[in-house]
Amino acid sequence: MSNYHIDHLRELESESIFILREVAAQFENPVILFSGGKDSILMTYLAVKAFYPAKVPFPLLHVDTGHNFPETLKFRDDLVEKYGLKLKVGYVQDAIDKGFVTEEKGVNSSRNGLQIYTLLDELEKGKYDAAMGGGRRDEEKARAKERFFSHRDEFGQWDPKNQRPELWNLFNGRKHMGEHFRVFPISNWTELDVWQYLAMENVPLPNLYFAHKRNVLERDGVLLADCDYIPKKPNEEVKEQLVRCRTIGDMTCTGVWESSASTVEDIIEEIATTRMTERGGRSDDKRSETAMEDRKKQGYF
Amino acid sequence: MSLENKKTNQGSSTELLRFTTAGSVDDGKSTLIGRLLYDSKSIFQDQYEQIEKISEKRGEEGVNLALLTDGLKAEREQGITIDVAYRYFSTPKRKFIIADTPGHIQYTRNMVTGASTANVALLLVDARNGVIEQTKRHAIVASLLQIPHIVVCINKMDLVDYSEEVYNRIHDEFEAFATKLDVKDVSFIPISALKGDNVVDRSTAMPWYEGTTLMYYLENVHISSDHNFIDCRFPVQYVVRPYNDEFHDYRGYAGRVAGGVFKKGDEVTVLPSGFTSKISKIDSFDGEQDAAFPPQSVTLLLEDDIDISRGDMIVRTNNKPEVEQDLEVMLCWFDHSKPLQPRGKYIIRHTSQEAKCMIKEIRYKLDINSLHRITEDFEIKSNDIARVVIRTTKPLFFDSYRKNRNTGSIILVDEGSNNTVAAGMIK
């Protein structure tokens, strides 16, 4: 009977599709949190697979910091159009204008942390009871303890010490009024799995992931893309380099890497031999040893 | 930017192996995992530099690999593991998912959780202490959860001068105990996680040991028959109805194959209705496929228009599961806030079914250090394991857990708190 066996990418795919269908079955109003990065692109692609030939039964929600790479927005809109998806956008700028949040000051200021407010606000306004994120357990030590179905209290907070146990294929999405769930369908994928799968399936990706020439500046050992949102220190020098993004987030905190990888195959080769984690270039994680855990407890992605 | 999708056939042929680790507090479990990650070159430079810094700050000798697996703030402060954490590494042969579970007595529930999906359990034994109560408890949990393969890692061999005698004594002790258990495949490997002996690289200090290294074992243990490929079970998870012109009459039953191999043309019966039909198509985004088997997620289409919804099960007509409202279950209680209520009512989840249920009878409590059946004390508290009879409001379609982990497992949910309060294996 051993002819019936599937490789690890197909097994991960099958697991994620199972989770996505479980969300559709157990929740009334789920939403996909879409950042424009490869993980949320993968999750969206898997959702298309899970419900084929029907359309994906939930919308995408994008929290727009106003500091996106322009390429991200174009890609997002094309993707939505291609698969006939519904898109909702929440703007951090609105929250700033209304005075609900205050913009950080100084050279290292970022709107990354401000997203939490807009995210929770949008979830409440849309009455979403399950928000699916592209978080992976291999990304960061706090995420290693995350469940597939992660319960959030009425304030959207995560209590890592009191999580529901998850066994076999049995997922418990029951909740009280006002509470919601974060669901992570690609929990078990690693960065390399994601790339191998995207290559195998030939899934289109934003050009930002591939090597391109860009004006960059170096700060605290991280290369940042030069843009109007990053105030420069007096002695910082902007120079053009061949770089690519390993993660895509807000321009102010997404580091770019010196790289000449111009195809998915090059990227896989690069990741397989690299000695730095992908979030090593994320200045938002470098703020303290428990930066991710602290943000997650408050309701971060 | 083009959004064209073109399929290529390239890909990997690596298998996925899930394993769990169990050991008591100072057995060196975190060090072993750190060692596996480090020696398989799965540790990144920035991670290594971070733990190097912390080790130095704490005044430790050398780099403490155990720090790689400490996740939450409280854990690092107290030097313990609170919850199940998942780790990943891969070699050219396999991708591995580790469910790293704490060893404290109060965390049986975490071990049960980690064990539920594992192909392999690594049981750590401190060579200086031999088989202790915790080792027995972990072995019993591994046996109850029917983990197909068990590896007893006799660790800290460097502290007993790599003695063959010590190894043999622990080996024999464990084997004597294991005869009482329902375990199929047990192996023994003498290691030193700290020094790296027999983890990834062969030890030169134990020439008397002729077996494989732990990594070789993990890469080569035969796992393709860990699924049940005999008894066809397809719990309907979601009904796919496109409601558009192109797929006007399309009615697909989406789900993950829980057992057996389904093929186009197979005669099937739908439970609970009992209607029979034939599989007209096994569908997926990538096109029609000839067969579907565990753990694939597919969509089945039937020749006849039958009313089927989530919670129903499609099975082969000549091989049906048990259909009952009374279940004999080995239950592990999870809830810290209150004990199992005799005659208590709960929500039961089984495959894609949900029903209400009542604890009809507690048969005995299991002493998980000795396998002794306790019948004089029926207070089932958090981390206790008990044999109970559960009565459900509607029939469930199940197999014994021994036969199929997917169709033989249940969880109980408290109606008030909505928490998952217990997990059970059907007899």
Do A213 and A180 share a structural domain?
no
**Interface residue of B8, B19, B285, B335 to substitute, partner A, most A CBs within 10 Å:** B285
CA distance B246 to chain A (A): 9
Q: Name the percent of chain A lying above pLDDT 70.
A: 88
Decide if B256 and A202 are in contact by the 8 Å CB cutoff.
Answer: no
CB B109 within 8 A of CB B383: yes
CB B157 within 8 A of CB B197: yes
CA distance A68 to chain B (A): 18
Q: Does domain B322-426 have CATH number 3.40.50.300?
A: no
Strand partners, B235: B313
The answer, for B316 touching chain A at a CB cutoff of 8 Å, is no
3-state secondary structure of B234: strand
DSSP character string of chain A: -TT----HHHHHHHHHHHHHHHHHHH-SSEEEE--SSHHHHHHHHHHHHHHTTSPPSS-EEEEE-S---HHHHHHHHHHHHHHT--EEEEEHHHHHHTTSS----STT--STTTHHHHHHHHHHHTT-SEEE----TTS-TTGGG--SEEEE-TT----GGGPPP-BTTB------TT-EEEE-TTTT--HHHHHHHHHHHT----GGGS-EEEEEEEETTEEEE--TTSPPPTT---EEEEEEESS---TTTBEEEE----SHHHHHHHHHH--S-GGGGBTTTSSSTTHHHHHHHHT--
DSSP character string of B359-407: EEEEEEEE-TTT-PEE-S-----TT-EEEEEEEEEEEEEE--TTT-TTT
How does residue A22 score in pLDDT terms, banded at 50, 70 and 90?
Answer: very high
Structural domain includes residue A258: yes
pLDDT tens for A137-189 read 888 777 788 899 998 887 777 777 778 889 999 999 999 888 889 999 999 99
> Which residue from A14, A25, A144 is facing B87, i.e. has the nearest CB?
A144
The DSSP symbol for B56 reads H
Do A181 and A140 share a structural domain?
yes
> Which residue from B90, B334, B406 is facing A169, i.e. has the nearest CB?
B406
Chain B partners within 8 Å of A8 (Cβ): 12, 14-16, 90, 94-95
Structural domain includes residue A3: no
Do A169 and A273 share a structural domain?
no
Does pLDDT of B12 surpass 60?
A: no
Residue A284: predicted pLDDT: 58
Domain interval for residue A91: 8-193+290-298
Do A96 and A14 share a structural domain?
yes
Do A186 and A233 share a structural domain?
no
Greater model confidence, B375 or A234: B375
> Which residue from B8, B73, B258 is facing A202, i.e. has the nearest CB?
B8
Average pLDDT, chain B: 89
> A173: burial class by Cβ within 10 Å (0-12, 13-18, 19+)?
buried
Cα angle B415, B419, B424; round to 5: 95
Question: Which ipTM score applies to this complex?
Answer: 0.90
Decide if A204 and B4 are in contact by the 8 Å CB cutoff.
Answer: yes
Average pLDDT, chain A: 85
Decide if A53 and B8 are in contact by the 8 Å CB cutoff.
Answer: no
Do A96 and A240 share a structural domain?
no
CA distance B383 to chain A (A): 12
How does residue B6 score in pLDDT terms, banded at 50, 70 and 90?
Answer: very low
Chain B partners within 8 Å of A47 (Cβ): none
CB A10 within 8 A of CB B14: no
Do A239 and A102 share a structural domain?
no
CA distance A209 to chain B (A): 13
Residue A281: predicted pLDDT: 55
d(CA B298, CA B276) in angstroms, rounded, equals: 20
Decide if B44 and A7 are in contact by the 8 Å CB cutoff.
Answer: no
Which residues belong to CATH 3.40.50.300 in chain B?
15-220
The type of residue at B115 is: A
How does residue A293 score in pLDDT terms, banded at 50, 70 and 90?
Answer: low
Does pLDDT of B13 surpass 70?
A: no
d(CA A247, CA A261) in angstroms, rounded, equals: 14
CB B128 within 8 A of CB B20: no
The type of residue at A145 is: K
Token pair, residue B253, equals: 């039953």
Residue B328: predicted pLDDT: 97
Q: Taking residues A205-224, what's their average pLDDT?
A: 84
pLDDT tens for B338-347 read 999 989 999 9
CATH of domain B15-220: 3.40.50.300
- A/B interface, count of CB pairs below 8 Å: 209
pLDDT tens for B251-282 read 999 999 999 999 999 999 999 999 999 999 99
- For A:30-49, CB contacts with B below 8 A are 48-49
Cα dihedral value A222, A227, A228, A232, nearest 10 = 40
Structural domain includes residue A16: yes
Q: Taking residues A200-225, what's their average pLDDT?
A: 85
Tell me which residue of B72, B84, B37 sits closest to A289, measured CA to CA.
B72
Token pair, residue B55, equals: 């080790």
How does residue A1 score in pLDDT terms, banded at 50, 70 and 90?
Answer: very low
d(CA B21, CA B9) in angstroms, rounded, equals: 35
Matching residue, tokens 């020098």: A237
Decide if B84 and A145 are in contact by the 8 Å CB cutoff.
Answer: yes
Residue B115: which H helix or E strand, with range? helix B108-115
**Chosen CATH of B233-316 out of 2.60.40.1930, 3.40.640.10, 3.60.150.10, 2.40.30.10:** 2.40.30.10
d(CA B170, CA B130) in angstroms, rounded, equals: 6
Cβ neighbour number for residue B379 with a 10 Å cutoff? 11
Structural domain includes residue A270: yes
> Which residue from B240, B256, B310 is facing A54, i.e. has the nearest CB?
B240
Greater model confidence, B188 or A91: B188
Residue A294: predicted pLDDT: 66
CA distance B168 to chain A (A): 35
Please state which of the ranges A109-118, A159-168, B7-16 shows the lowest mean pLDDT: B7-16
Tell me which residue of B239, B365, B371, B257 sits closest to B305, measured CA to CA.
B239
Residue B361: predicted pLDDT: 94
Is the preceding peptide bond at A185 cis, omega within 30 degrees of 0?
no
CB B219 within 8 A of CB B14: no
Q: Name the percent of chain B lying above pLDDT 70.
A: 92
Decide if B7 and A201 are in contact by the 8 Å CB cutoff.
Answer: yes
The answer, for B6 touching chain A at a CB cutoff of 8 Å, is yes
Chain A partners within 8 Å of B406 (Cβ): 168-169
- Kindly give the pairing relationship between strand B94-100 and strand B15-22: parallel
> B181: burial class by Cβ within 10 Å (0-12, 13-18, 19+)?
middle
CA distance A18 to chain B (A): 6
- The domain total for chain A is 2
Does pLDDT of B314 surpass 50?
A: yes
Does pLDDT of B140 surpass 50?
A: yes
> Which residue from B2, B230, B411 is facing A204, i.e. has the nearest CB?
B2
The answer, for B288 touching chain A at a CB cutoff of 8 Å, is no
The type of residue at B294 is: P
CB A260 within 8 A of CB A273: no
Chain A partners within 8 Å of B299 (Cβ): 52
DSSP character string of B244-263: SSTTTT--EEEEE--BS-EE
Neighbour-count burial for A204-234, b at 16+ CB within 10 Å, e otherwise: bbbbbbbbbebebbebeebbbbbeebbeeee
Cβ neighbour number for residue B297 with a 10 Å cutoff? 25
What CATH number does the domain containing A15 carry? 3.40.50.620
The answer, for A14 touching chain B at a CB cutoff of 8 Å, is yes
Do A78 and A58 share a structural domain?
yes
Dihedral sign, Cα of residue A188, residue A191, residue A194, residue A196 = negative
> B2: burial class by Cβ within 10 Å (0-12, 13-18, 19+)?
exposed
d(CA B321, CA B327) in angstroms, rounded, equals: 13
Greater model confidence, B134 or B331: B331
Decide if B240 and A55 are in contact by the 8 Å CB cutoff.
Answer: no
Phi-psi sector, A106: left (phi>0), alpha (psi -120 to 50), beta: left
Greater model confidence, B24 or B331: B331
SS (HEC) of B100-114: ECCCCHHHHHHHHHH
pLDDT tens for A251-289 read 776 778 888 888 988 888 888 777 666 665 555 555 555
> Which residue from A21, A145, A201 is facing B72, i.e. has the nearest CB?
A145
Residue B5: predicted pLDDT: 39
Which residues belong to CATH 2.40.30.10 in chain B?
233-316, 322-426
> Which residue from B1, B15, B72 is facing A7, i.e. has the nearest CB?
B15
Residue B301: predicted pLDDT: 97
Q: Taking residues A53-78, what's their average pLDDT?
A: 90
Decide if B410 and A170 are in contact by the 8 Å CB cutoff.
Answer: yes
Q: Taking residues A52-63, what's their average pLDDT?
A: 94
CA-based max dimension of chain B? 75
Residue B72: predicted pLDDT: 56
pLDDT tens for B84-104 read 788 888 888 899 999 888 766
pLDDT tens for B67-84 read 766 655 555 555 555 677
User: What are the residues whose beta carbons fall under 8 Å from the beta carbon of B169, sequence distance 6 or more?
Assistant: B130
Do A235 and A136 share a structural domain?
no
Do A137 and A73 share a structural domain?
yes
Do A246 and A177 share a structural domain?
no
Does pLDDT of A208 surpass 80?
A: yes
Cβ neighbour number for residue B243 with a 10 Å cutoff? 9
Cα angle B325, B330, B335; round to 5: 100
Decide if B256 and A18 are in contact by the 8 Å CB cutoff.
Answer: yes
pLDDT tens for B276-313 read 999 999 999 999 999 999 999 999 999 999 999 999 99
Strand partners, A257: A244
Token pair, residue A197, equals: 């799968």
d(CA A256, CA A245) in angstroms, rounded, equals: 5
- For A:269-288, CB contacts with B below 8 A are 274-277, 280
Does pLDDT of A250 surpass 80?
A: no
Do A209 and A160 share a structural domain?
no
Decide if A145 and B14 are in contact by the 8 Å CB cutoff.
Answer: no
Q: How many Cα atoms sit within 13 Å of B367 on the Cβ side? A: 10
- For A:61-80, CB contacts with B below 8 A are 74-75, 78-79
Structural domain includes residue A200: no
> B320: burial class by Cβ within 10 Å (0-12, 13-18, 19+)?
middle
d(CA B375, CA A10) in angstroms, rounded, equals: 47
Return the axis-axis angle of helices B108-115 and B133-144, rounded to nearest 10°. Answer: 40
Greater model confidence, B95 or B111: B95
